[in-house]
Chain A
Amino acid sequence: MKKLLIATATTALMAGAASAEDIKIGLMLGFTGPAESYAPPMAGGVRAAIAEASDSGKFLGGSKIELVEGDSTCTDAAVATAVAERFVTSDGVSGIIGALCSGATTAALQNVAVPNGMVMISPSATSPALTTIEDNGLFFRATPSDARQGAVMADILMEEGIKSVAVTYTNNDYGKGLADAFEASFVALGGEVTINASHEDGKGDYSAEVGALASAGGELLVVAGYADQGGKGIIQGALDTGAFDLFHLPDAMVGHATEANFGADLDGSMGQVPGTDAEGGDMYVPIGEANGFDATAPYSPESYDAGAMMVLAMQAAGSADPAVYKDKLFDVANAPGEKIYPGELAKALEILAGGGDVDYVGASALELIAPGEASGSYRVVKTDGGKQETVGYR
């Protein structure tokens, strides 16, 4: 029955593509929940990319793309599954962009995308577990795995001469994955992790966690949490009690929310967030200004790239059928071919329509590696005078 359904859906989609009819793409992000402050600039990026391709008139012989949106939340597997289910069964999308958090992404992928043969591209799910997940080649992400972030973070700390740290992580797929990846790399480099303890988000009081972390000690505290949730509570508690003065902030803690909450109290603390100094990032900023979102916000460039990557793969395959275009994602994202930067989607669509080859660089210097994730470059930041200043890239 499932096969029959898929076959029917596929046929319908094929027919749709052939006659230049409109296609739909589903966008699911955690618009509410622990990471809600990240969602608006990310949605802006995806909308901009889709609109650019759709308005160019060159996509699949003049097809228009309609974006349907849904709130997958961050950690509620049931909601994420329901939204993805709605995309596939009632909206009839040809691909899903999302979700924001690793937990929601895993749920939607395993329960909906894989059984229905739907391509899914997440701009920001970073859990190492998603690298090894059984995805039938349907899952991609425009961001590197946290296994890589853990290694980068360990390198940064070692170069700063820090040998002993305490680690706290938000108790979900993202936090646990990152904390474990970091501990493995840091210990391998000769560092010491005094404690690796979780914290729950949205709780009233973090003094117990701060007390345990303080007792374990360390030169600084690595906070693999969320900037507007437990991560904030932990840092506040640690600063107030004088437990730690220095912190290290992984991707989800870097951003305006943390700057606004703590300002100069975090001076000297470092962090890293996926990002690049390649020219693509600069070209992306005016796109954000034109569309009214902050293009420098974390994961906004990756979101644009996730949208662009999906559209270009469809164009390269000449079809919006997930079973066909899923094999084209590596071709459009990597060399050889003409380099494509943000704002040049129309050019890319034309090249692909003419049978040419493109190498999508995009806003985040995207380079896909097996099994379908970004190779990953990180922007290293250091808080100075209350502002997170970029101090390097790796």
Chain B
Amino acid sequence: MDFLNALVAFTNFVIVPASAYGAQLAIGALGVTLIYGILRFSNFAHGETMAFGTMVVLLVTGLFQQWGISLGPLPTALLALPFGIAAAAALVLFTDKTVYKFYRRVKAAPVMLVIVSMGVMFMMNGILRMIIGTDDRRFADGERFIIRARDFKEWTGLSEGLAIRTTQVLTIVVALITVALLFWFLNKTRTGKSMRAYSDNEDLALLSGINPERVVMITWLVVAALATVAGTLYGLDKSFKPFVYMQLLLPIFASAIVGGLGSPLGAIAGGFVIAFSEITLTYAFKKVVTYLGPDGWSPDGLVQLLSTDYKFAVSFAILIIVLLFKPTGLFKGKSV
């Protein structure tokens, strides 16, 4: 019984939230890593792209709710997702045409493109705030929980509760589908193969007749879809606030770099590594140890490796260790 309690407590406070957070980071990092692999720069406007797509999803969701359209127990936002993707795609194609295309033509250094993308980030930031403002919004509807902590305690008779939110399961399921689709696309389709060829060796790809503008366009479309999906899942699980999306950029980049920039598999692994280490290293194991230890004994301290204040230091420490000892990341991406 005590062992089960310990397991449930650990699952409830570490495994479940870290898996959902990890999946959100992973899809975000996939977008960053694709841009890095194919367009060869770190896109600082990625957080804003996520926020923009999510904003459109949020607005369309509101419209659907007014019309009385819903998905029953699932959030209405899933129906609105295609509209968000379309809007985000239009936005990134527009910025590519008006901004990035010029820098590609003059063969600007990657670091220049990074600065350009920061400019784009500030522009998108402003547009977002003009359209929807700075407020915190919630747009999740439908059934909020699959298992409620209180119900779980009653069913099992354990003293620890386990809560699983619909959005957490949804996040993981959608993440799996997205990743499967992306890998199928990159590995099996002609377009996907041409993207990989372009990423591996630009000159050779051009020689074999791959149209670079088409590869660039498709990359942006895929990235817009990934960004909107990541942003919407995140917004459903927590809430939508433009400022927070900008802040998300840091863990997303950390995930992409830890996994190996340019490597899609690495981005996924990186997302989970960052999420799990942030949460596990700062978790206070007092409860778990109390359950596992002898009866009636509990540790005096919190049995916490690091205070939660150091949560972000954890991501950066991992980042530095990876860059020092394995600069290409866990999955042999490009060195930064």
Contact = CB atoms under 8 A, between A and B. Distances in A.
B243 A242 contact: no
Interface in B227-261: 234, 238, 241, 243-244, 247-248, 251
Interface string B283-320: 11111100000000000001010011101100000000
A231 B308 CA distance: 15
B100 interface: no
A211 B288 CA distance: 11
Contacts of A216: 284, 286, 302
B13 to A, nearest CB: 4
Given A197-B308, A205-B238, A242-B163, A211 B244 contact: no
A324 interface: no
A207 B17 contact: yes
Contact of A215 (B278, B287, B309, B311): B287
Contacts of A241: 12-13, 17, 149, 161, 163
B240 to A, nearest CB: 12
Nearest to B151: A242
A232 interface: yes
Nearest to B21: A205
Contacts of B135: 228
Contacts of B311: 200, 208-209
Output the residue of B148, B234, B244 with the most chain A CB within 10 A: B244
Interface residues of B, number: 44
B251 A208 contact: no
Interface in B9-38: 9, 12-14, 17-18, 21
Contacts of A199: 308
Nearest to A207: B17
A217 B287 contact: yes
B99 interface: no
A348 interface: no
A56 interface: no
A11 interface: no
B332 interface: no
B150 interface: yes
Nearest to B17: A207
A171 interface: yes
A199 B309 CA distance: 7
A240 interface: yes
A217 B298 CA distance: 12
A377 interface: no
A242 to B, nearest CB: 2
Interface in A349-367: none
Contact of B304 (A200, A207, A212, A232): A212
Contacts of B288: 215
Interface in A156-198: 171, 195, 197-198
Interface string A201-221: 011110111111011110000
Contact of A211 (B14, B238, B309): B14
B263 to A, nearest CB: 23
A228 B136 contact: yes
A204 B238 contact: yes
Given A205-B21, A242-B148, A242-B149, A214 B287 contact: yes
Given A215-B302, A216-B286, A241-B163, A197 B309 contact: yes
A205 B247 CA distance: 11
B238 A198 contact: no
B279 interface: yes
Nearest to A232: B136
A233 B18 CA distance: 15
Contact of B285 (A215, A237, A240): A215
Contacts of A207: 13, 17-18, 21, 279
B254 to A, nearest CB: 12
Given A32-B134, A205-B21, A212-B302, 18 more contacts: A197-B308, A197-B309, A204-B21, A205-B238, A207-B17, A207-B21, A208-B279, A208-B282, A208-B311, A209-B311, A211-B282, A215-B286, A215-B302, A228-B135, A232-B136, A242-B149, A242-B150, A242-B152
6 contacts: A200-B312, A208-B308, A211-B279, A212-B284, A216-B302, A242-B163
